[in-house]
Amino acid sequence: MEKDSKDLFNSTIFLIVKFKGYLVRKLARNLISIAIPCLLFSAIHELTEFNFASSFSLPGLLGAALGVLLVFRTNTAYDRWWEARKVLGSMVNICRHFALHIHMQIEESENKKRLFLMLKAFPFVLKEHLRKGVIFEELTFLPDDILEQLKQWQHRPNGLVRMMLQVIEHEYERGNLSDFQRIKFMEYTDNLLVVLGKCERIHNTPIPIAHAYLLKIYIWIYAMIMPIGFIDQLGWWTFVPVLIIYYVAMSLVIIAEEIEDPFGHDPNDLPTDKMAHMIKGNIEEIQYKQPDYQVVV
């Protein structure tokens, strides 16, 4: 789909100012830690007889290894981000199916209303379970007894699903659900737990520390060796290209670190809050929309 490109020009300049500002703040200390040794090198080179200048081939070779690791880091971080998005997308689908089948197959009753409420609560419980714990202020639409029970669970999504299953079993025992329908509803609750498990996996698994560490170390070494190639030509200005290269490489690393765990509140994170409200709206439309379609007999 075509984006409006008319304001690309303006926005580009705006973005440079805004976005670089954001990254520069994050990288401020690192940039200073690079700039100081650079200036030191320049001082030694300019003020003493000592000559660093040499062929530039070593950084070139190191650069290839760095390139490999940067591609790798960017790809794996993005893959996790996109997998997280897919998992949340499948939560949307499951909630819609589940709501449609509650609406169609369970008789009007207090139980039915409560099942709808629990389903609406699930995305809210999930998103905060992945942050710092469920925010009960968001769940005030739940009846008090359900809220009370939920508060007693350590692993709250498990608790919510156990309550859903209890309603379903109860309807089955009262003869309102056939074996087939019960299996179908059990599949939906199982799938809600699968969504949860996948989110937990992405949230709790950092990439292998070796990759995370090595990359930063190599970028640092690279930045320290780089001046050898510039210093003869640039003298006191050596630190300028060094900082630019260091900044470009580290900005990719910082972004990778942000998006590989996309359940927080960063600008690059997924809009889990918006999704929870959207799902709630969808379920309510399925639940309340009147009149039902009149089947022709």
Our measurement of the distance from residue 113's CA atom to the centroid of its chain's CA atoms, rounded to an integer in Å, reads 32
Shortest Å, Cβ 281 to a second copy? 8
Compare residues 54 and 133 and give the one whose CB is closer to a second copy.
54
Shortest Å, Cβ 47 to a second copy? 22
Report CA torsion sign: 155, 160, 161, 163.
positive
Residues 271, 245: Cα–Cα separation, whole Å: 32
Compare residues 137 and 179 and give the one whose CB is closer to a second copy.
179
Shortest Å, Cβ 92 to a second copy? 5
Shortest Å, Cβ 126 to a second copy? 14
Dihedral angle computed from the Cα positions of residues 286, 287, 290 and 293, in that order, rounded to the nearest 10 degrees: 60
Longest pairwise C-alpha distance within the chain: 100
Compare residues 47 and 210 and give the one whose CB is closer to a second copy.
210
Compare residues 85 and 138 and give the one whose CB is closer to a second copy.
85
* Residue 80 to residues 66, 73, 115, 129, 207, Cα–Cα distance (Å): 21, 11, 32, 19, 10
Beta-carbon contacts of 43 under 8 Å, excluding residues fewer than 6 positions away, are none
Compare residues 39 and 193 and give the one whose CB is closer to a second copy.
193
Shortest Å, Cβ 287 to a second copy? 10
Compare residues 138 and 172 and give the one whose CB is closer to a second copy.
172
Shortest Å, Cβ 242 to a second copy? 10
Shortest Å, Cβ 137 to a second copy? 21
Q: Which long-range contacts (CB under 8 A, 24 or more apart) does 88-94 make?
A: 88/195, 88/199, 88/270, 88/272, 88/275, 90/191, 90/195, 91/122, 91/123, 91/126, 91/192, 91/195, 91/275, 91/279, 92/275, 92/278, 92/279, 92/282, 94/188, 94/191, 94/192, 94/195
Query: For residue 287, what is the enclosing H or E element?
Result: helix 272-288
Beta-carbon contacts of 174 under 8 Å, excluding residues fewer than 6 positions away, are none
Compare residues 137 and 292 and give the one whose CB is closer to a second copy.
292
Dihedral angle computed from the Cα positions of residues 142, 143, 148 and 150, in that order, rounded to the nearest 10 degrees: -40
Shortest Å, Cβ 54 to a second copy? 6
106 token code pair: 């369970």
Compare residues 124 and 177 and give the one whose CB is closer to a second copy.
177
